[in-house]
Amino acid sequence: MTSQIPAGGASASSTTLPAASSEAAPRLDEKTMLAAYSRWAPIYDRVFGAVFEAGRRAAVDVINATSGRLLEVGVGTGLTLPRYGKQLSVTGIDLSPDMLAVAKKRVAEEKLGNVEALIEMDASRLAFPDASFDNVVVMYVITVVPHPDQVMAEVERVLKPGGEAIFVSHFASESGLFALVEEWLTPITKKLGWRPDFPISRILGRPGLETIEVKRLGFLGLFSVARLRRTGG
Ligand SMILES: C[S@@+](CC[C@H](N)C(=O)[O-])C[C@H]1O[C@@H](n2cnc3c(N)ncnc32)[C@H](O)[C@@H]1O
């Protein structure tokens, strides 16, 4: 079910990429996800723009010091797209056509010429050749996807050796204040499909992705940014 939505920017391409899988219909969990994000799409920026700001800023600071091809996995409504440096050639993918439609509109309105393409695609079945991207960013997505280990394998596969994968998300806390705040946030995070019990250890320790840095950010350190580097560079 891979199709492409042209980004609408000055240099947006509209090449159709090959399907990554022969499955015709989305799985049930994907259907639930698509229905949820279809409802969120029109109001997502207003509800979650500021809440997730610290993580976005941290990722952009790292990414804007790089150049080349950037993949944003789960680009959503494209809130971060206007902030990427013009030296980057950006591709965004997302499972939700409704979220992507908002991103496409943003790219067109803000004439974001460095956005190469916005593509409807499952992060666990990326339709890109190996080592296609210099860097990859995954913000508030890895704890939402039904198959996070497959997503990790795909991110590793499409990264060039030496390239960085930056993950921003809320990860499970073991105890104390963080656990209390999580409990308080659960009604909100459930609506986004997050798994509050998702530990950061699940994305660390892969032989192909060495950990450069992990730090907590934002209100009460609720979110974490993890910088991983593709080995072999
Ligand atoms: C919480 S939103 C985050 C959006 C954006 N990264 C941001 O910072 O605002 C999660 C996004 O992940 C997308 N998503 C969920 N499962 C996915 C999958 N399997 N493949 C690609 N995108 C997926 C959703 O459609 C949604 O746009």
What phi and psi, each to the nearest 5 degrees, are found at residue 226? -120, 125
pTM of the model: 0.86
Say which residues have a Cβ less than 8 Å from residue 7's Cβ, sequence separation at least 6.
13, 92, 103, 104, 107, 108, 112, 115, 116, 117, 118
The residues that bridge with 214 in the sheet, in sequence order, are 226
Atom of ligand 1 nearest to the CA of 147: 19
Decide if pLDDT at 105 tops 70.
yes
On whether the CB atoms of residues 70 and 135 are closer than 8 A, the answer is: yes
The domain spans of the chain are 3-15+23-230
CATH superfamily of 3-15+23-230: Vaccinia Virus protein VP39 (3.40.50.150)
Pocket test for ligand 1, best of 2, 70, 84, 94 (most atoms within 8 A of CB): 94
Decide if pLDDT at 10 tops 50.
no
Q: Ligand 1 in contact with 78 (CB < 6 A)?
A: no
Q: Ligand 1 in contact with 140 (CB < 6 A)?
A: yes
Decide if pLDDT at 184 tops 60.
yes
pLDDT of residue 155: 98
Poorest-confidence range of 29-33, 39-43, 109-113, 136-140?
A: 29-33
Decide if pLDDT at 53 tops 80.
yes
How far apart (Å, rounded) are the C-alpha atoms in residues 175 and 153? Answer: 30
pLDDT of residue 207: 95
Each residue's pLDDT tens digit, 116-168: 999 999 999 999 999 999 999 999 999 989 899 999 999 999 999 999 999 99
